[in-house]
């Protein structure tokens, strides 16, 4: 009976984990414009006063344009396209589920100036995979890889040994943190998105390099860049992108 | 006042527990009830019943998260009230008879029924965890808080049509997950 099933669904939604309920209550949506600006102005005043009175200095981080090269490949040929670095010059690259001979949207990560480099890659929607010698390896939501690796993003998610389900979100982000030894020397954020709202699931996805940043050495020393700092910057980039899309 | 202090008042059987609950969570509870029932008087009744249930249930219960616990109680009471009013208003004759006869039927909350609902909740929890945070929050605002599509669209700066599309996608996504787990709703 439909009513009974709907009641069951309603009750089950009612009893979801408390963390989701709290998350939804604490993540408030857009505040009143004047309130937001008043709050920001108040914060600025406090920061200025505090800065003047106590000479608080924010740790300086020197940033430079990213040195990471992300190369993508056209759907039906081997034509290479290098994604442009920097938020001002986003490059769109489209990939079609139906047209491509590749198992996912390919992104080759490479850096030429540094030797001992590794990439810490994570994705918050869909799955990244490796495709080497016709063998497909599904990667976890976060993993480390070496220079010159091509990873593929797919809207499939592995839920078991041979079980998959479609990622139904319209946006996903790939976070790439570049390490040299134990030091963080750069990062990049790539947005995967679809405008294909007609198909379920979407058939065509685009990739856009939102930002690529490097942290050059200062006085011959690595800057002390923390993972928290990079995570905050990445979230800021995503928030600004989402706000711009609205 | 912190949740633990409020709960401690309930345990001491101090009636200040109710007023402190109302101060901290009254607006939250009322908003959920109003979203479901659409009538302020019904929402007030529902919130008062929630306080009563809290008074009768704590102790022995000791909620970890008082806000979430109250929200669940409000949703349950609001849904029961909505069903009762809905039947009385729309199907005055036969439905009213059936509604009254329903009192003769033992509670449907059998162990089997509860296990089924718990399984469904587990699947929904897994599904929610797999969503991007923005989508998860939107889903919760719509289907847990009961906010309207227009309200969500306005707050997110999206058009109502786009918000409706987004909700449709989320529902289809959930449907696909449920079907995969053997549920066909």
A194 and A94 share one domain:
yes
Question: What's the domain range around A11?
Answer: 2-54
Contact criterion met (CB < 8 Å) for A18 and B65: yes
Residue A15 falls inside a structural domain: yes
Contact criterion met (CB < 8 Å) for A168 and B176: yes
> Domains in chain A: how many in total?
2
Contact criterion met (CB < 8 Å) for A15 and B132: no
A146 and A189 share one domain:
yes
Q: Which B residues, 108 through 147, put their C-beta within 8 Å of a C-beta on chain A?
A: 116-118, 120-121, 124-125, 128, 130-137, 140-141, 143-145
pLDDT in tens, B79-136: 888 888 776 665 556 655 655 665 555 555 566 677 778 888 889 999 999 888 888 9
Q: Does B106 touch chain A (CB under 8 A)?
A: no
Q: Which domains does chain B have, with CATH numbers?
A: 3-104 (1.10.1740.10), 111-180 (1.10.10.10)
- Cα(A4)–Cα(B83) distance, rounded to whole angstroms? 12
Residues A122-146: what's their mean pLDDT? Answer: 82
Residue A30 falls inside a structural domain: yes
Flag the least confident range among A81-95, A143-157, B117-131.
Answer: A81-95
Residues 6+ apart with CB under 8 A from A225: A61, A183, A184, A185, A215
A45 and A94 share one domain:
no
User: Which residue, among A25, A127, A164, would best test binding to B if mutated, counting the most B CBs under 10 Å from its CB?
Assistant: A25
pLDDT in the model for residue A55: 45
Report whether A104 contacts A93 (CB < 8 A): no
A44 and A69 share one domain:
no
pLDDT in the model for residue A31: 43
pLDDT in the model for residue B6: 93
pLDDT in tens, A4-44: 777 788 888 999 998 889 888 875 544 444 555 566 566 55
Percent of chain A scored above 90 by pLDDT?
2
| Cα B21 versus chain centre, distance | 18
Which one, of A26, B155, A20, A30, lies nearest residue B163 by Cα? B155
Provide the pLDDT confidence category of residue A88 given band limits of 50, 70 and 90.
Answer: very low
Nearest to B120 among A8, A21, A124 (CB): A8
pLDDT in the model for residue A85: 45
B59 forms bridges with which residues in the sheet? Answer: none
pLDDT in the model for residue A211: 83
pLDDT in the model for residue A109: 83
Check pLDDT > 60 for residue A47: no
Residue A59 falls inside a structural domain: no
Nearest to B136 among A9, A20, A30 (CB): A20
- Cα(B58)–Cα(B1) distance, rounded to whole angstroms? 17
- Cα(A186)–Cα(A207) distance, rounded to whole angstroms? 20
Q: How far is A140 from chain B (nearest CA, A)?
A: 13
- Cα(A152)–Cα(A137) distance, rounded to whole angstroms? 10
Name the token pair of B154: 């306005």
pLDDT in tens, A211-221: 888 888 887 88
A120 and A145 share one domain:
yes
Long-range Cβ pairs for the range B2-11 (8 Å, 24+): B3/B63, B3/B65, B3/B66, B3/B67, B6/B66, B7/B58, B7/B62, B7/B63, B7/B66, B10/B54, B10/B55, B10/B58, B10/B59, B11/B58, B11/B59, B11/B62
């Amino acid at each position: 009976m439909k009513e009974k099933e709907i009641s069951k669904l309603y009750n089950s939604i009612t009893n979801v984990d408390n963390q989701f309920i709290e998350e939804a209550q604490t993540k408030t949506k857009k505040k009143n414009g004047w309130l937001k600006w008043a709050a920001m102005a108040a914060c600025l005043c406090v920061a200025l006063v505090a800065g003047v009175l106590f000479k608080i200095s924010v740790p300086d981080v020197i940033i430079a344009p990213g040195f990471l090269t992300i190369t993508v490949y056209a759907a039906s040929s081997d034509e290479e396209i290098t994604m442009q670095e920097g938020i001002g010059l986003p490059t769109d690259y489209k990939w079609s589920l139906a047209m491509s001979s590749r198992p996912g949207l390919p992104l080759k990560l490479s850096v030429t100036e540094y030797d001992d480099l590794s990439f810490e890659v994570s994705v918050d929607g869909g799955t990244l995979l490796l495709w080497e010698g016709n063998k497909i390896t599904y990667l976890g939501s976060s993993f480390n890889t070496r220079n010159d690796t091509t990873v593929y993003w797919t809207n499939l998610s592995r839920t078991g040994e041979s079980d998959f389900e479609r990622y139904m979100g319209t946006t996903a982000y790939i976070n790439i943190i570049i390490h040299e030894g134990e030091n963080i020397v750069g990062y990049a954020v790539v947005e995967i998105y679809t405008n294909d709202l007609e198909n379920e699931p979407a058939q065509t996805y685009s990739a856009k390099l939102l930002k690529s940043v490097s942290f050059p050495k200062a006085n011959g020393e690595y800057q002390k860049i923390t993972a928290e700092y990079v995570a905050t910057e990445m979230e800021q980039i995503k928030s600004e992108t989402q706000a711009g899309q609205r | 006042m912190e949740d633990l202090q409020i709960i401690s008042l309930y345990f001491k059987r101090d009636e200040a527990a109710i007023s402190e609950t109302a101060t901290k969570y009254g607006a939250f509870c009322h908003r959920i009830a109003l979203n479901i029932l659409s009538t302020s008087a019904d929402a007030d009744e529902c919130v008062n019943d929630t306080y009563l249930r809290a008074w009768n249930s704590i102790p022995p219960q000791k909620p970890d998260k008082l806000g979430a616990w109250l929200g669940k109680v409000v949703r349950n009471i609001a849904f029961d009230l909505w069903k009762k009013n809905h039947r009385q208003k729309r199907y005055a004759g036969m439905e009213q008879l059936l509604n009254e006869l329903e009192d003769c039927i033992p509670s449907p909350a059998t162990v089997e029924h509860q296990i089924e609902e718990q399984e469904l909740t587990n699947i929904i929890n897994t599904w929610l965890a797999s969503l991007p945070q923005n989508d998860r929050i939107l889903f919760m605002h719509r289907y847990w808080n009961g906010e309207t599509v227009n309200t969500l669209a306005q707050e997110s700066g999206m058009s109502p049509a786009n918000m409706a599309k987004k909700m449709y996608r989320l529902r289809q996504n959930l449907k696909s997950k449920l079907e995969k787990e053997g549920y066909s709703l």
